[in-house]
A and B are shown apart, each in its own frame.
Chain A
Amino acid sequence: MRSLPRDLLSHRELLWILIQRNLKIRYKNSVLGFFWTLLGPIFLILIYWAFIRLLKIQISINALITGIIVWQFVAMSLGDSLNSILGNANLVTKTAFPRFLLPLSTVCANSINYLLTFAVLLVFLFFRHAEPYALYFLPLILLTQFALCLGLSLLVSSLNVLFRDVEHLMSVMLLAWFFLSPVMYTNAYVTDTLAARTQLSEATDVIESPADQARITENTAKILRTCCLTNLVAQTELSDASEVTESLADQTQITENTAKILHACYLANPMAGIVTSYRSVLLSEDVLPIGMFVAPFLLSWAILFIGLGVFSRLEQRFGDEL
């Protein structure tokens, strides 16, 4: 991997051809072809717009659409990555070239799609009079999201060669991740939920001594899970979210400190940080102190390096396993 920049430079032509091929295959046999890149998000926006009005979810349409489009890039990149290596077995077994170009080209092709979709989103937000805020952070956010996608793509594509289970695990993990990330809800919603519980616990004054901390950590996982479930319930049963929160709050008691830790844990999910940062920057919604984004952003880049490390170890075996 030390020669990565050199490989990239000497094989830039190949990368470009692979990206083109990825894009071509996606729109093969479709009449509208590349227009789907634009039509896709437009339909998405229309559907969710209708959906949100019907369901009365407590999230602005701008925030929801932003979340969905940001999430789509990650989900599609990962879905395509499953077959980055397997689908090119012919190439991998017969020719020698830097293998990381395959997942890289998958993510790049998806990035091109994403940027076009993103343009549609910007136009949409412009007409919705969204107010951007600190827009100069946008390139960093985009780049970090790319790093996250590439890192995961490297992991998924190489692991899937050795263990075909990855394919089955992926759809489950993606679904779980979707609900763990603030796509259909906002980070503020999570904060509010936690705050509601904090108030309750302060009122009842249950937890005072540090000895009780152990109980709190035990609760941590439970609470995080319930956070997401709350959302699910809220969306599917059209029930008033705050009502659910209150009823749940009765069962859990936490201090302000715990709430902070929990929220940090929640934001450590790179996608929680990334989606929220997009919303902060594009919509001035869900704004958080900049320090809150350090952990998820660093983690995204860490995942890229982990991905590169794992990939370079596993790629030795591609020729034998395919």
Chain B
Amino acid sequence: MSGAGSTTHAINVQDLGKKFLLQSRGESTLKSLTLDWITGRRKAREEFWALRDVSFSVQPGETLGIVGANGAGKSTLLALLAGTKQPTTGSVETHGKISSLLELGAGFHPELTGRENVYLAGAIMGLSRARMADRFESIVEFAELNEFIDQPVKHYSSGMYVRLGFAVAVEVDPDILLLDEVLAVGDVSFQRKCLERIGEFRDEGKTMLIISHDLETIKKVSHRILFLEKGGVQGLGEPEAIVDAYDSRSRSLQSVGLRREWGSGEILIKNVEIHDRNRSPCESFRFGEKLTADIAFEAKERIVSPVFGFSISDSEGRLLYGNNTQLEDFEIPFVEGCRTLRLHIGELRMARGIYLLSFSVHSADHKTNYHRLDHHSTITVTADAAFEGCYMPLQWEMDPRDAG
């Protein structure tokens, strides 16, 4: 694994792939395998590529953050780097001593005491007992476990467990540190301590790979961020840009789940295009900017007095605002054939966030829904002020009568 390559990379990953075989029929036994072999059902086990064609390298001293949805392959990647799993294809090359804290577990043995586990962890890293003894005090101190260190770790709380795991992983003085979702556990004060230690580690010129769902934090500590999706690299680069990409990607994926299209079909909304004030297609707006939506529709027959509506929901689909042509007294006597209706929102007074736009066309009496596109388009709004929801012009005033 840690060959003496001429490269200066701390980690070099080439075309890495990891295939898992999903077992549909319980554990494999000699019987099941023999049966499969005889009946030629060897392909019965479903394949699943947790990672595929992943290539990247990490320079010594670099901190690489890893983001991605659950099941994107983050933990598998770290397991392959740590060496607890073996790649199916491609190669992993690492230079230097690796210490890892994978998936909320440090490989502690529940029956052993904290002290014994510390020495066990050191021995796994290949550290001598004497070297471990030198670091023991600082490990216990960092983990804040003074009176519990001689208790079996099975009695530890999850916080204590992670604290000890983190302390050991950091204090064994590795060249490369792999951390999986460590920041998510423990109380706030310990999280802060972890972050401080990670910062120190960074300053010492150590290499780190950190998986976290805490986007703000990972943006702060990482030099670069790797964005994984469905086992592939979706992006790698500047933290700000990658986190934004990941953020909007995950939101749009979420909104896809909320999308719904229904109606009786006399009028069909063929397409909706969202434009900014320059009439160019746009998905992200600043607070107060102008938004135009071109609603292209087709009426298969002559429909009298249709009502077109739209609504704005938050990223989870909760309705924030809705309006229609009827309420605004925009008369449409009849429609027939293909036309385009244009909606102008002069000032988009929404708080910063992701919004879903729904469009609809229905009869004047609301009894027939010709066509509804729920949560059809996604837009992002950026704003300097941090109010919530929709902005309404307002004033604050202190009642002068009470004074004095």
| Residues of chain A having any CB pair with chain B under 8 Å | 10-11, 13-14, 16-17, 21, 25, 28, 90-97, 162-165, 316-317, 319-320
| Residues of chain B having any CB pair with chain A under 8 Å | 20, 27-31, 33, 79, 82-86, 98, 100, 102-103, 105-112, 116, 119-124, 126-129
Closest residue of chain A to B87 (Cβ to Cβ) is A316
Task: Report whether A13 and B84 are in contact in the complex, using a CB–CB cutoff of 8 Å.
Answer: no
Query: How far apart are the CA atoms of A13 and B123 in the complex, in Å?
Result: 6
Which residues in B have their C-beta under 8 angstroms from that of A317? 86
B11 shortest CB reach to chain A, Å: 14
Task: Report whether A95 and B84 are in contact in the complex, using a CB–CB cutoff of 8 Å.
Answer: yes
Query: How far apart are the CA atoms of A300 and B86 in the complex, in Å?
Result: 31
Closest residue of chain B to A315 (Cβ to Cβ) is B86
A22 shortest CB reach to chain B, Å: 12
Task: Report whether B109 and A90 are in contact in the complex, using a CB–CB cutoff of 8 Å.
Answer: yes
Given A13-B129, A162-B28, A165-B31, verify A94-B85 contact (CB < 8 Å).
no
Which residues in A have their C-beta under 8 angstroms from that of B30? 163, 165
Query: How far apart are the CA atoms of A267 and B271 in the complex, in Å?
Result: 85
Task: Report whether A17 and B119 are in contact in the complex, using a CB–CB cutoff of 8 Å.
Answer: yes
Task: Report whether B129 and A165 are in contact in the complex, using a CB–CB cutoff of 8 Å.
Answer: no
- 12 examples of A-B residue contacts, CB within 8 angstroms: A10-B126, A13-B122, A14-B124, A17-B120, A25-B111, A93-B107, A94-B100, A95-B84, A96-B82, A163-B30, A165-B29, A319-B84
Most chain B Cβ neighbours within 10 Å, of A11, A28, A164, A319:
A319
A93 shortest CB reach to chain B, Å: 6
Which residues in B have their C-beta under 8 angstroms from that of A10? 126
Given A163-B28, A319-B85, verify A95-B100 contact (CB < 8 Å).
yes
Query: How far apart are the CA atoms of A90 and B112 in the complex, in Å?
Result: 13
Task: Report whether A21 and B112 are in contact in the complex, using a CB–CB cutoff of 8 Å.
Answer: yes
Query: What does DSSP make chain A's interface, helix, strand, loop or mixed?
Result: helix
Taking A92-B84, A94-B105, A320-B20 as known contacts, 4 extra A-B pairs with beta carbons closer than 8 A to each other, sorted by chain A number, are A90-B107, A90-B110, A94-B102, A162-B28
Task: Report whether B98 and A96 are in contact in the complex, using a CB–CB cutoff of 8 Å.
Answer: yes
Which residues in B have their C-beta under 8 angstroms from that of A164? 27, 29
Most chain B Cβ neighbours within 10 Å, of A17, A25, A94:
A94
Indicate which residue in A25, A90, A319, A320 contacts B105 across the interface (CB closer than 8 Å): A90
Closest residue of chain A to B81 (Cβ to Cβ) is A96
Query: How far apart are the CA atoms of A94 and B180 in the complex, in Å?
Result: 11
Query: How far apart are the CA atoms of A11 and B126 in the complex, in Å?
Result: 5
Which residues in B have their C-beta under 8 angstroms from that of A16? 123
Most chain A Cβ neighbours within 10 Å, of B82, B107, B129:
B107
A173 shortest CB reach to chain B, Å: 13
Task: Report whether B79 and A17 are in contact in the complex, using a CB–CB cutoff of 8 Å.
Answer: no
Which residues in B have their C-beta under 8 angstroms from that of A28? 111
Query: How far apart are the CA atoms of A1 and B109 in the complex, in Å?
Result: 27
A105 shortest CB reach to chain B, Å: 11
Query: How far apart are the CA atoms of A315 and B248 in the complex, in Å?
Result: 41
Closest residue of chain A to B80 (Cβ to Cβ) is A319
A148 shortest CB reach to chain B, Å: 24
